[in-house]
Structure 1
């Protein structure tokens, strides 16, 4: 007979850990208890403007803090911004740290997702083209005007925020900053992600942060990152944020 101390809660923890799981406590706002007040303020402010999970937002906030703490040079760049929630989180975190002189670059069509290719399959084996066809071509569309209003609504200096409309294959590298401190990729598809890696990874400063939002969910995004890293001879360990998000620091 196995005796488990701590009553029902202790028994549940013992059983879940035995089978490779753990129980995560959540506070009244639904966020894990290890999230600090800064995480909670920022996530609460941007939730209506993003599909990004609290865990991935946590990683993003920590990435911004890391860049500032180590005074890493460069801009904050996001490819695939949807409603702007993730870059709002960047701006709010920077302002909480007293930083308002960093440039923010937001790349998106602002008209929805471009058409996927054969490489783009979700983790259930469903071709992304099926989602695309059901959406009549405006999947995850949010206008530039709405995104601009949301991001500038944080109070971050507008002259430091650069909105770049169009497919990344058309706008990058012609509009990129000279150096990148944090790079967040969220365009989902193989072709766009590979283009971003080829053009932007070399601009990421040593010690800079890479976040790939759909590495776990879409095979094309994962293939693009892995393919580029192998071809470039880069040795990186991508840490798991949640089932889909991955994060690393450039060596």
Structure 2
């Protein structure tokens, strides 16, 4: 997860990796911007990756790819809100959206996640939860319900994915968005959920370039699946169209 940027045609981003980014094509998409303005305060996903998610939902609708929508690691629910708004924009409200999160902040990272992850997690320890990426169940539910998407088609699953998956999973997935940052959770999600992703379905790994654990888990998993093209969205996000 990363903090969102304002809307600018050109923007210098990320203190440690300066780059110049042209956002003019995104700013010309008025329908997307209308949705983005509704969700931007509920997400740490910056605008390029939000736009990729928006386009992915449109692609799935256009190509009639069957399956539900899944996000693991949702913070305040902004990406799920974006999915819901985009589906409704196309007149669709019968797809289920699976919302997986601890709703208690981040789980403890392991050695595979690096010292920076451990240090940040340690700073967030509180009696009731970890403040790193924390948002309560009630806050997330309220945010997603505010989109007007049918409540019966929102499946909120509370707890670490290592404990809730595969106990509660869809039978088929059209879009799978992974944003739990750490090695163990990402590895578990890919193992159990990627096989359920439909042919031509979309996988988005949000923190591939931001956290070493997410990258390690992704690389290990796809080393066993030949000819998988893991395409770059921005410095951290990666996308796969399943063959």
Q: Same fold (TM over 0.5)?
A: yes
2:108 is the counterpart of 1:119: no
Describe the superposition over 1:102-123 as per-residue Cα deviations: whole angstroms up to 9, x where unpaired: 00000000000000001113xx
The structure-2 alpha-carbon separation of the partners of 1:222 and 1:33, relative to structure 1 and needing over 3 Å to count, comes to: closer
The structure-2 alpha-carbon separation of the partners of 1:23 and 1:244, relative to structure 1 and needing over 3 Å to count, comes to: closer
Segments of structure 1 that go 5 or more residues without pairing to the other structure are 1-20, 27-31
Give the Cα separation in 1 of the matches to 2:228 and 2:74: 25
TM-score, length of structure 1 as denominator length: 0.85
Give the Cα separation in 2 of the matches to 1:182 and 1:25: 24
Q: Shift in Å at residue 208 of structure 1? A: 0.1
Moved more, 137-146 or 109-118: 137-146
Describe the superposition over 1:118-161 as per-residue Cα deviations: whole angstroms up to 9, x where unpaired: 1113xxxx530000011123311100000000001000000000
| Greater Rg over alpha carbons, structure | 1
The structure-2 alpha-carbon separation of the partners of 1:45 and 1:59, relative to structure 1 and needing over 3 Å to count, comes to: same
Give the Cα separation in 2 of the matches to 1:23 and 1:205: 32
What secondary structure sits across from 2:156 in the alignment?
A: strand
2:232 is the counterpart of 1:240: yes
Alpha-carbon RMSD = 1.4
Q: Shift in Å at residue 234 of structure 1? A: 3.7
Extract structure 1 runs of 4+ deviating beyond 2 A. 21-26, 32-35
Q: 1:192 aligns with which of 173, 176, 185?
A: 185
Q: Shift in Å at residue 35 of structure 1? A: 4.3
2:144 is the counterpart of 1:155: no
What secondary structure sits across from 2:204 in the alignment?
A: strand
Name 1:109's counterpart in structure 2. Answer: 102
Segments of structure 2 that go 5 or more residues without pairing to the other structure are 1-18
Q: Shift in Å at residue 25 of structure 1? A: 5.6
Name 1:139's counterpart in structure 2. Answer: 132
TM-score, length of structure 2 as denominator length: 0.88
Give the Cα separation in 2 of the matches to 1:25 and 1:47: 16
Contact (CA 8 Å) 1:180, 1:205: kept in 2 or not?
yes
Q: Shift in Å at residue 238 of structure 1? A: 1.6
Contact (CA 8 Å) 1:118, 1:127: kept in 2 or not?
no
2:51 is the counterpart of 1:58: yes
Q: 1:129 aligns with which of 104, 118, 136?
A: 118
Q: Shift in Å at residue 39 of structure 1? A: 1.2
